[in-house]
Structure 1
Amino acid sequence: MSQRPGEAAVGLRELKKQRTRATLVDVAARLCAEQGYEHTTVDQIASVAEVSPRTFSRYFHNKEAVIAALMEEISEEVAQALTAQPRDITEHEALVRAHTQVLRAAEVGQPQAMSFHRMRGFLSIVTSTPMLSLATFTFRPDGSTHAVVEAIAGRMGLPVADPAVRVVFDTWAVLMATALGSPGSDASDPGAVSNRIEETFAIFTRLWQPWRRQDQTPAGEPGQ
């Protein structure tokens, strides 16, 4: 059955809207990676995306909204990676594997992976803006949940409000804060961040046993 002219026009308009929205997210991520979240403005995003501030406002209410769209996209990528993790590992290890899988896929430019500059923008934001970082790796302050929380709850067979799910993400937030805040690491390099996450997780798992005086963390690694 052929498409009517009016239906074709609606389809093209919707496609153009999707492309404009994606461009705004792309530009916001790139500017945040280059100059930081605090120094990035709506006017700058609109200018680089070659749209007016008024057009920007049709898609996002403010800068926080376009960044939230980026973070939601990352969350959905990680949630999808979580579904592929084996069931015989802990939820924390599944989170480590899912996050590092998404990060490294972006680093090497795998097909269908998150773009490298979007990932760099995301990492720049969460390492420089504590409140946004908290919203990314924990339950949101307004009580809503993101895709990764829902994926873990589903993996555990529990409602998202269950205390066990809350414990997973409260401890995960600490792990990520330690990994991303480690001195001397390049927070904009997805590969380096993946390494830091794995190193921090190794320390976390070591703490499941009594710590001995000789169990010193090598210089430059998390915990020093």
Structure 2
Amino acid sequence: MRELPVVGRPPAERADAAHNRRRILRAAAEVIATRGPEAVTMDEVARAAGVGVGTVYRRFGDRARLVYAVIDDRERDFQAAFIQGPPPLGPGAAPAERVRAFLHALADRTEAQADLLLMAESDPPEARFRDGSYRLYHRHLTLLLREVRPDADAAYLADALLAPLAANLFLHQRRARGMPLDRIKAGLDTLAGALVAPPDAAPQERPG
């Protein structure tokens, strides 16, 4: 399977600008973690990062872009892990193992930033499917599924595996229904196991 590109890489920048960017994003992530994304202000993030508020505005423009940049910063690390990292999440493991590892890692990634991802996926409602990250996830799973099930519609199955990890459903399961993360991962294992099983491994219907 050819290597996929990590999407959303920041442009090349001076060392001092890159340092300030990391400080601002780290500060914003801490504010979001303690008070929620709605409580974030440019002034507060600037104070937490130890930079002038003008630096934050010049770097990110407005609060919404800053919040999405926090998502992007974490997202690039996740993408690098499944594209270039060690197995079973990264290359080197059997395709079925990589599918399972990817779904578990994506569940962890969703857990870490569920509220931010919900904001990003809901504005507009179809934003999840326009996002470069979703397209990369879909391509990654499609390539793995084609190796395991060359007879199947891998593109459709990739969407089916990603559907349970939409932020709105994930948060409903975690908060409204009280599902622990391990239960969600176990359900993903069951779903993925059924999808990657060869056709002759499907249970036979009992004669009536």
Give the alignment's TM-score, normalised by structure 2: 0.58
Which runs of structure 2 are paired with 1:36-115 in the superposition (5 Å)?
A: 36-83=36-83, 84-85=87-88, 86-89=93-96, 92-99=99-106
- Alpha-carbon distance in structure 1 between the residues aligned to 2:144 and 2:102: 11
Indicate yes or no: 2:190 matched with 1:200. no
- Alpha-carbon distance in structure 2 between the residues aligned to 1:44 and 1:94: 37
Give the alignment's TM-score, normalised by structure 1: 0.55
SS in 2 for 1:38: helix
- Alpha-carbon distance in structure 2 between the residues aligned to 1:34 and 1:75: 20
- Alpha-carbon distance in structure 1 between the residues aligned to 2:121 and 2:31: 18
Contact 2:27–2:49 (CA<8 Å) still a contact in 1? yes
Per-residue CA shift, 1:51-91, capped at 9, x if unaligned? Answer: 22221122112222223222223322222332333333077
- Alpha-carbon distance in structure 2 between the residues aligned to 1:66 and 1:149: 26
Given candidates 136, 161, 174, the residue that maps to 2:164 is: 174
Aligned twin of 1:32: 32
Unmatched 5+ stretches in structure 2: 1-12, 147-152, 196-201, 204-208
Aligned twin of 1:183: 175
Aligned partner of 1:145: which letter?
G
Q: 1:63 to 1:164 in 2, by over 3 A?
A: farther
SS in 1 for 2:17: helix
Q: 1:207 to 1:149 in 2, by over 3 A?
A: closer
Contact 2:24–2:46 (CA<8 Å) still a contact in 1? yes
Contact 1:27–1:49 (CA<8 Å) still a contact in 2? yes
Per-residue CA shift, 1:143-178, capped at 9, x if unaligned? Answer: 351254454455567xxxxx8446524641423544
Aligned twin of 1:109: none
Aligned partner of 1:175: which letter?
L
Contact 2:99–2:144 (CA<8 Å) still a contact in 1? no
- Give the aligned length: 166
